[in-house]
Amino acid sequence: MVFSSLFFLYLFLPLNLIVYRLVPNIKAKNITMLVFSLIFYAWGEPVYVLLLIFMTAADYFLALRIDKCAPRSKKAKFYLFSACAVNLGLLGVFKYGTFFLTNLKLLVGFPQSVPSFVLPIGISFYTFQLVSYVADVYRKDISAQKSFSMLLLYVSMFHQCIAGPIVRYKDVYPELLSRRASYEDVSDGVWRFSFGLAKKAILANACGSVADSLLDTKTLSTAPALSLWVGVLAFSLQIYLDFSAYSDMAIGMGRMIGIHYRENFDYPYISRSVSEFWRRWHISLGSLFRDYVYIPLGGSRKGTIRTVLNLFVVWALTGLWHGASWNFVLWGLYFFLFICVEKIFLSKFCKQSKVLPHIYLIIVVFFGWILFKFTSVSDVLLTLKGMFGLNGNPFTSFEVGAIIKSNIFILIFCMVVSTPIVKRTGELIKFSIKYNWWIRTVYTIGRIALPIVLFILSTAALIGDSYNPFLYFKF
């Protein structure tokens, strides 16, 4: 089940909100959310909900043991290691087992047949949540949760279980224990969810359709150069709009019931360096790698060589987190190289100038998405060569021109939405209502009407088009 399905929008979510409002107290509300979350997860993969419950149970018991140990004692370290072994071991089997065995077979000819593992939905997200929880108990930043159902609710909450943001226990536990959704919370939540839904159903899906039309792997060797450039542009917009839309919807649903998830995207395409880009993109993942890998390894405190080594580890893991394929490893190391160059040589350039660093960032990220798009390295090379006409391919064609003309305005609009222009315009209008009753009236009407309009338009888009992919399901 995905947020942009009609079943979720018109049955699951309304039923969840109605039951949630009807039950009398916070304990009943939490039980309601837990039941709905497990049903949500089990809807597509009923067997793997048992895996989620098992991993949570293992961490529940191990965290309780850690909590009783002296800080950073040998016993505490043993229980922490055991929790990481269970979580990362299961993630390794399901996500990387086939990849590892395939490469092992290429190297040594063993095993003769490679088993194929089905990847449980969202396993990368909830595994990291569990690891961060146990690590925080080990650090004595938090106490171990005494209620298994509360820990399971934290891990399985359907708002963010399969696509993030990756939520830390210490950030949401106070609101799981006691919360109240104010009128402003509900209003902001409905607005944020409707905006995210429209971003996904109308904009991201449109960009995805263009990208898939222009970047067909079957015709890459003969594709016109213009189709490759525009196709990569469309994919760059799709992946941002798609992923940030799911974060918007998760944050919105949380606000509707009084839970405040942290932001996961902050308009990354306006950045002026690769480092800044990754501080703005998938913020919850970046902060986890920073706090639980980079800083424990020594961060930038132990000299240039050690800093570079630590960054290498972080970005190799970041690439692998996104997928069990060499293109993702190369993608992570690609950004590692630019971040190292920036730290050593380009830090002043990125801070002093405004326009040139932004152009540099857009170019770096643009070509980086090619590595992310194609799992086959040969397809990556074909695309790069074809963009500069080195495949003997033409610059354009009638068909490519027709596709671009049909979608040029939606692509431009998507570029605008990928910047803070819309948000800042809304903030300006909100500021102006203090001084002008006419603007205040229009703002109030728009605040009520616009989410309804966006919801209707999104529904129409979903009904009229069977194209509704979810890029981050495989992660």
Residue 98 and residue 100: Cα distance in Å, rounded? 6
Q: Please say whether the beta carbons of 167 and 174 come within 8 A.
A: no
Is 322 catalytic? The answer is: yes
Q: Where would I find the beta strands (DSSP E) of 173-237?
A: none
Q: Please say whether the beta carbons of 197 and 249 come within 8 A.
A: yes
What separation, in Å, do the N-terminal and C-terminal C-alpha atoms of the chain show?
15
Hey, is 343 helix, strand or coil? helix
Work out the angle at residue 264's Cα, subtended by the Cα atoms of residues 306 and 311, and round it to the nearest 5 degrees.
Answer: 10
Sign of CA dihedral 341, 342, 344, 345: positive
Residue 281 and residue 269: Cα distance in Å, rounded? 9
Residue 50 vs residues 92, 120, 215: alpha-carbon distances, Å: 17, 11, 38
Contacts of 150 (CB under 8 A, 6+ apart): 30, 173, 176, 177
Residue 142 and residue 136: Cα distance in Å, rounded? 6
**Two structure tokens written together for 44:** 């597509």
**Two structure tokens written together for 337:** 């190289």
Based on its alpha-carbon atoms, the radius of gyration of the chain, rounded to whole angstroms, reads: 23
Residue 29 and residue 80: Cα distance in Å, rounded? 32
- Which is catalytic among the residues 260, 282, 322, 358? 322
Closest C-alpha among 299, 191, 286, 282 to residue 242: 282
- DSSP-derived letter for residue 104 is H
Write the Ramachandran bin of 258: left for phi over 0, alpha for psi from -120 to 50, otherwise beta.
Answer: left
Closest C-alpha among 111, 55, 110 to residue 87: 55
Could you give the residue numbers annotated as active site? 322
